[in-house]
Structures are given as C-alpha cells and as structure tokens.
C-alpha cells in the first residue's frame, strides 16, 4: 500500500475517542447515578434528551439493578422500547447525537447499552394549520416539522396496511431521516426503485428541507419549472399516493414532495374536488387562462405599442395616445419599471409580518401607482394591465409554479421590445421546446397534452364528475387501474 493510500484511509476511532470529542461540548453530560461512581456511568447530550424520561424512568431502573454487571440482564430490566447493545464507536456517536443515553458498566467489557430518551416534542409547533395553501372548503390540517407526526397524520387519513413507509438517512452531517411513502398494491415498482436509487445516491452535508431533495433528485436541474410538487396539505398528498405517485418526507420539513408530476398538477386545487364538478372545472380553467394572461399581457402591450400600432382599434387608439402623450420613456422601459415595482412590493410584503405586509401592499400599490401616473412615468392603461397580470399570477395554487410564472414574464417583455410579435412567437417556441424536454422521474412533463393521453383529460384541464374519474392516470402505470366503482345514482328515496 502506498503512502498516499495509507493517508487517505480513515483511521478507526475507539469509544474513548468518541467520548473525548463529545466532552468538548458543554451540553454533554457524564454522571453516575449509583453510590459507587465506578460501577456505572451515563453519557448523553442534555440538549437532545428528555430530562423527565431520564429522572423518572431510567435512573430508578438503574438504581434497582445496581449490582448487576451484565449489560444484557440490565437491558431486559429497562422500561424502554428502544434499547440497543453495541460496541461500534460510529453507531454510539450517531445515537448520542440523536438523543440516546450511553450506559457504560465498568465491570462489563462490551457491549454497551444505548437507551433512546430523545425529546420528541422539543421545538415542535403545536399548530398544524395550512398557511400557504389555504382553502375555504375542505380540511385545514397540514404537516409539521416532525417526521413521525407527519406519518401519523397520513396514516390517520389512510388507515390501511397497504400504505408502505420506508425510511433512510441522508446528510453526512445532518443525518436527516427521509421517508418514502407509497401504496404497495398501486404504485409501479420501477417508480419506487427510481426514487430509492436517486435518494441513496445523494452525497450532501446538511439537508434543511425536503425542497432540497426536490432539486437534487430532479431529472433536469437547469430549469425554472418545478418538477416535483411540494405541498403542506394532507389531502393533496393522500390523493397523489392513491393515484400511484410516491411521496417523500424529510424530518424538519413541513412539506411533502410528490412525484412524478406533470405541468397541470400545479394548477389543481383541492377545492376543485370539494365543489360540484361544474364549479371545479370552471375555476380550474380560470387558473390556466390566468397563466397566459400573467405571462403575455405586458409583452403584448410592449409589442403592440412598439411595432404593431395597426392592430389597435380606432376606438381605443385615441385614449391610448392621450394616456401616453406625456410619458418620456419607451414602452419597454415603462413596463420593466412597473413590473419591478410590483415585484418589490410583493417581496417586501412577503418578508414583513402579516399585518404590516398587507398594509404595505395596499398602501404602497395605491401611492406608487398614483404617483407614477401623476409624474408621467407610466400610463393609466399600463397600470391596469400590470395590476391584472399580477393578480392573475396569484391564482396559481402552488407557490413554486407561481414564482416561475413571475420569472417568465421578463424574458418575453425583452423579446417583445426587441422584435415585437416575432419575438413573442420565438420565445414561445423556445419555451415549448424546453417543456418538451423536461421529465419528472422519467415521465414527460407535458403529459397528457404531449404525449397525448385522451383517457387522462377527465381530471386534468377540467374536473369531471366522479363517475368518470374511476381510473388512475395511465402515464403512472399503476398496478391497479381502477380506483373505485361508484354505484348508479337513485332518483327516488332509498328502500326501507
């Protein structure tokens, strides 16, 4: 073996090395609960353990069996579900930092005892109402930052043994617990293997949120479009799992990641299923139309006023000229100024406390808009168009997709200012070409539009009646195609 290889090979640590390194932290405790301090010693991190579990359960149990020198006999007497015998320094190091107590018997050589007394409630918020995906109709409960609580909430919604949960650990420093959840008899096996493989291949230091996993395991990293759906709503994750998708949870994150997802999934709201199908379909179509309005409203304004005056009707031409007669800037500069102002107000309102942010958005929008018109920096008509485009972007129920729509507006504005309608058409072709290349866990991003899947239009662009949505999505290749079998409606009262 060469000298370089010898230096590259990590040195094995002993238990003494682990305890010596841990003792440098002031929250690391070492104590002996017995009269003879050399008989037994405890090691643990005070910040990660539950003091009540130690003082009320662990210490009395150890004091009752202080004469024993056998770790295995002591293990059987401890009133804890998770008690582990080990002599591996790496396991001891990992379990200590997770909230376990190391029980070391001086009379016994090895193995040592690891007792899980983790404080599961410390730092958790008790309120689990949805904050960013609020709905008027339907349940208000959402996920929290605890992985165990989130799995409990999900199993409460689907109390069946078919719901399968597989856990793994990601992050060389954070040791973040990640759970893969799916329906055993519905989800395609190839899809499950793909998710497991991509998660196991992650080599990362600290995983702060499930949104990081979303980006790391995605098929394409150089795209503004979200390829996985992140949500804090229990009902949305339940629907995704029942349909044959896979959900990913991470400890410390109140959001679940579901996939594979197509572009239409980001414009579906849970309220669509709680309202009559006619209303649900109408509101879903409104959201899709608002996407085009939000992206193309201001670019069309720039293109028309810069290159295509001939398309403006005579009845509108005079008011438009009068509104711009004192504006010294070109339409491109005028639009970018107003769009950036709207983005500044939106970002400032999102970072401030709720009540102050709402006041800033209303007052700031009115004051700046009125002052801009009075100072002849912009026209009245453009102010209305920009306000409508901003309102249209708020109709998207998923925050990540709403941010993408906000970003796409600016390249189209620049293309419209340079080449007019031709620039908008070129930008649209580039956008469609980019969307055609995108995939989510190997599934085309534009399905069922392309590749065209007629059978999936019952619950995509519109929300059909429940009697026509009995089958799962074809492109997910589920093991079971039929989800439920609705009974025929009865016109009269039920028979007694």
Which three-class secondary structure state does DSSP give residue 73?
helix
Collapsing DSSP to helix, strand or coil, 445 comes out as coil
Average pLDDT for residues 235-239, to the nearest whole number?
A: 92
Q: Averaged over 342-371, what is the pLDDT?
A: 73
- pLDDT of 214-233, one tens digit each? 888 998 889 999 999 999 99
* Residue pair 258/155 in contact by the 8 Å Cβ criterion: no
Question: What span, in angstroms and rounded, lies between the C-alpha atoms of 372 and 354?
Answer: 26
Cβ atoms of 232 and 133 closer than 8 Å: yes
List Cβ neighbours of 428 (8 Å cut-off, separation of 6 or more).
none
Q: Which range is least confidently modeled, 34-48, 181-195, 283-297?
A: 34-48
Whether residue 492 is preceded by a cis peptide bond, meaning omega within 30 degrees of 0, is: no
The pLDDT value given to residue 261: 92
pLDDT of residue 8: 42
Measure the CA angle with vertex 122, ends 117 and 128; round to 5°: 125
Average of per-residue pLDDT across 284-297? 94
pLDDT at residue 69 in the model: 61
182 close to 480: Cβ distance less than 8 angstroms: no
What percent of the chain is predicted at pLDDT more than 70?
90
Indicate the range of 67-76, 131-140, 325-334 predicted with least confidence: 67-76
d(CA 407, CA 224) in angstroms, rounded, equals 8
Mean pLDDT is lowest, of 10-14, 100-104, 133-137, for 10-14
pLDDT > 50? residue 156 = yes
* Torsion sign over Cα 59, 61, 67, 69: negative
DSSP-assigned letter for residue 420: T
pLDDT for residue 467 is more than 70: yes
| Cα 148 off chain centre by | 17
The pLDDT of residue 385 is above 80: yes
pLDDT bucket at 62, cuts 50 / 70 / 90: confident
Give the span between the Cα atoms of 382 and 373, in whole angstroms.
10
Task: Provide the pLDDT for residue 379.
Answer: 85
Mean pLDDT value across residues 351-366? 68
* Cα separation, 249 vs 237, whole angstroms: 11
Q: Residue 259's CB: how many other CB atoms inside 10 A? A: 25
Q: Is the pLDDT of residue 3 over 60?
A: no
**131 vs 387: CA distance, rounded Å:** 24
Residue 237: the pLDDT is 94
- Torsion of the alpha carbons at 29, 34, 35 and 38, rounded to the nearest 10: -70
pLDDT score, position 437? 94
Q: How confident is the model at residue 197, as a pLDDT?
A: 94
Min mean pLDDT across 106-115, 149-158, 163-172 is at: 106-115
In angstroms, the CA 420 to CA 414 distance is 9
At residue 104, the 3 state secondary structure works out as strand
pLDDT score, position 405: 94
Band (67; pLDDT cuts 50, 70, 90): low
Instruction: Check if the beta carbon of residue 187 is closer than 8 Å to that of residue 221.
Output: no
Task: Write down the pLDDT at residue 7.
Answer: 39
Confidence of residue 255 (pLDDT cuts 50, 70, 90): very high
What 3-state DSSP class applies to 359? helix
CA-based nearest residue to 99, from 113, 115, 88: 115
Q: How far is Cα 100 from Cα 29, in angstroms, rounded to an integer? A: 12
Instruction: Please state, as a whole number, how many other Cβ atoms lie within 10 Å of the Cβ of residue 356.
Output: 12
pLDDT classification of 439: cutoffs 50, 70, 90: very high
Q: Give the separation between CA 105 and CA 331, rounded to whole angstroms.
A: 80
More confident residue, 394 or 63: 394
Work out the percent of the chain whose per-residue pLDDT is above 90: 32
Long-range contacts made by residues 465-469, C-beta under 8 angstroms, separation at least 24? 465/277, 466/277
- Residue spans of the domains in the chain: they are 3-116, 147-261, 283-444
Rounded-to-integer distance, Cα 37 and Cα 167, Å: 39
């Amino acid at each position: 073996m060469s000298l370089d290889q010898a230096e590259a090979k990590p040195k094995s640590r002993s238990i003494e090395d682990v305890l010596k390194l841990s003792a440098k932290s002031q929250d690391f405790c070492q104590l002996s609960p017995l009269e003879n301090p050399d008989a037994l010693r405890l090691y643990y991190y005070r910040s990660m353990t539950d003091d009540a579990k130690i003082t009320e359960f662990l210490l009395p149990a150890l004091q009752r069996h202080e004469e024993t020198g056998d770790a295995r006999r002591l293990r059987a007497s401890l009133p804890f579900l998770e008690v582990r015998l080990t002599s591996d320094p790496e396991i001891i190091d990992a379990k200590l930092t997770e909230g376990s107590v190391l029980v070391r018997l001086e009379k016994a050589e090895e193995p040592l005892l690891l007792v899980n007394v983790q404080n599961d409630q410390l730092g958790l918020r008790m309120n689990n109402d949805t904050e960013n995906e609020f709905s008027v109709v339907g349940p208000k409960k959402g996920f929290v930052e605890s992985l165990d609580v989130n799995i409990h909430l999900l199993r409460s919604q689907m109390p069946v043994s078919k719901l399968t949960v597989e856990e793994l650990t990601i992050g060389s420093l954070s040791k973040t617990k990640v759970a893969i959840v799916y329906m055993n008899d519905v989800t395609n096996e190839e899809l499950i293997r793909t998710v497991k493989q991509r998660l196991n291949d992650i080599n990362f230091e600290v995983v702060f949120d499930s949104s990081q996993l979303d980006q790391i395991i995605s098929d394409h990293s150089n795209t503004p479009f979200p390829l996985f759906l992140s949500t804090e709503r229990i009902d949305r994750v339940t629907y995704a799992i029942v349909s044959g998708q896979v959900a990913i949870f991470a400890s410390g994150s109140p959001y679940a990641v579901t996939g594979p997802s197509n572009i239409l999934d980001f414009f579906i709201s849970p309220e669509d299923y709680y309202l009559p199908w006619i209303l649900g379909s109408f509101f879903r179509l409104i959201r899709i139309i608002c996407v085009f309005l939000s992206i193309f409203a201001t670019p069309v304004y720039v293109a028309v006023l810069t290159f295509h005056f001939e398309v403006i009707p005579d009845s509108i031409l005079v008011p438009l000229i009068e509104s711009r007669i004192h504006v010294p800037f070109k339409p491109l500069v005028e639009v970018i100024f107003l769009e950036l102002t709207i983005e500044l107000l939106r970002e400032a309102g999102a970072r401030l406390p709720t009540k102050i942010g709402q006041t800033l958005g209303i007052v700031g929008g009115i004051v700046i808009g009125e002052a801009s018109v009075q100072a002849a920096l912009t026209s009245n008509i453009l102010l209305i168009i920009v306000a409508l485009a901003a309102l249209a972007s708020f109709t998207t129920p998923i925050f990540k997709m709403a941010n993408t729509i906000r970003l796409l507006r600016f390249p189209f504005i620049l293309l419209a200012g340079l080449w007019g309608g031709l620039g908008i058409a070129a930008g649209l072709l580039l956008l469609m070409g980019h969307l055609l290349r995108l995939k989510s866990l190997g599934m085309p991003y534009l399905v069922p539009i392309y590749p065209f899947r007629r059978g999936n239009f019952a619950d995509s662009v519109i929300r059909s009646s429940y009697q026509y949505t009995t089958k799962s999505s074809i492109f997910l290749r589920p093991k079971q195609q039929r989800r439920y079998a609705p009974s025929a409606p009865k016109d009269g009262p039920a028979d007694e």
